[in-house]
Structure 1
Amino acid sequence: MQFDVKTVNKLLGIEESYKAPEKMLQLMLDDQQRPGLFKQFLAVSTDLKFDWFHEYFEDEQAERKSKKQDFTPDSVATLLNRLTARQSNDNAYYEVAAGTGGILIKHWWNDLTHNSIFTYDPRSCWYQAEEMSDRAIPFLLFNMAIRGMNGVAIHCDSLSRRAKDVYFIRNDSNNYLAYSEVIKCPHHELFKREFDITEWVDRFDD
């Protein structure tokens, strides 16, 4: 495994894995440090067609007891995307309980490889991913932004529609190699209506 615990923690500049989600979120919201972090990870691997954090997160961060949290194997994620292949005129993707983005990444890879570098435009696709876990959200933001996606990651309970935050992932260019910005949206009525949020909360009920 290229991105083992030691490697990921070193790249994030931490010694203890429990600090990873907070540090990752901090870096994702920092316009100066985010691109540099992406370059460091890409120096280890440039293979973007799968979730680098699958095993790291499952071993170190998954909340199996409290949230019954487990992650979709890479082979299953590939199969699911083949079964639910997007129609050519449908450029929007929506996923609840997205975790760190394993299935989402497979869908993005399918979008990318079904176009040529001359016709693929990141602005033509929209990805909306929702996740409840405080630990998973920062890694989901990383996975969307390093791949230059456009969309939103909503930190919410998808059933009750209660939300902590909405993050806008923006790549305002036609460059499929460009990184996305990560913008934390204000707790405004506009975003509540747009994403069908019932209320803003600081924590979810257990």
Structure 2
Amino acid sequence: MQFDLKTVNGILGVDESYKAPEKLLSLMLDDKKRPETFKKFLEVSTDMSFDWFHEYYQDEQAERKSQKQDFTPDSIAQLLNKLIEEDRSAGEYFEPAAGTGGVLIKRWWNDRIEDPVHLAHIKQSVLDKNKGISLFTYDPRNYWYQVEEMSDRAVPFLIFNMAIRGMNGVIVQCDSLSRKAKEVYFIRNNTSDFLAFSDVIKMPHNKEVEDFYHIKEWIKEFK
């Protein structure tokens, strides 16, 4: 396991795993430290096709007893993406209870490799003869990923996973049923560079944000 307890905690600069989510969130909201943190993780691995925190989060952060949290295995994440695959040419994706982003990452990876916004209407025979053509057509600004997650422990890792991959989208930290929300994070890559990192913007608690994301109430803690 590349991103084991020692590696992750070492990069984050924490001596105990319970401190990791709060520290990671502070790094993600710091415009200078965020890219520096990404580069440290990329020195360990550049394979972006899966969630690096799979085993680390499952072993150290998941609230299995109190919140019934468990991790979606990589193979199941891939299967779910195939089962729910609809017309992807619009470039939009929504997922409640996203956790740290395992299923989301598989969708993003498939979008990046296949670029359905530009290539969905191209004959498969043409695509088969031109492997890797998406490298020339894929533009992260054509894709929007909207996810929801309630856990204070999971959200910082979800922010990390979206921003290091240069996604565009939003994370609503909320109860997807009651629509009570704690925070909204705008993840923005305003470039055509699929290797660029995203900005992370904490949205204000105002009526415009409430209406747009169907938030009924702002709360400080989930009960």
Q: How does 1:49-64 map to 2 (within 5 A)?
A: 49-64=49-64
Distance 2:152 2:63 in 1: 10
Please list the CA deviations of residues 110-143 of structure 1 after superposition, one character each: whole Å capped at 9, or x if unmatched.
0000031111000000001100100000000000
* TM-score using structure 1 length: 0.98
**1-structure distance, mates of 2:72, 2:144:** 22
Which aligned pairs between 1:18-57 and structure 2 lie closer than 5 A? 18-57=18-57
User: Which of 105, 130, 135 in structure 2 is aligned with 1:117?
Assistant: 135
| DSSP-derived class of the 2:177 partner | coil
1:166 aligns with 2:184: yes
* d(CA) in 2 for partners of 1:13, 1:68: 28
Q: Which residue number corresponds to residue 16 of structure 2?
A: 16
Q: Flag as ranges the 4+ runs of structure 1 deviating above 4 A.
A: none
Q: How many residues end up aligned between the 2 structures?
A: 205
Rounded to whole Å, the distance in 2 between the matches of 1:159 and 1:172 is: 31
Percent identity reads 65
Long gaps (5+) in structure 1 = none
Letter in 1 for 2:157: F
Q: Structure 2: 5+ residue runs without aligned partners? A: 116-133
Alignment of structure 1 residues 3-152 onto 2, 5 Å: 3-115=3-115, 116-152=134-170
Alpha-carbon distance in structure 2 between the residues aligned to 1:58 and 1:163: 24
Residue 203 of structure 2 corresponds to which residue in structure 1?
A: 185
Shift of 1:86: 4.0
Larger radius of gyration: 2
Q: 1:120 corresponds to which letter in structure 2?
A: Y
2:137 match: secondary structure:
coil
2:130 aligned residue: none
Aligned to 2:220: 202
Deviation at 1:65, TM superposition (A): 1.1
Cα distance in 1 for partners of 2:88, 2:212 equals: 25
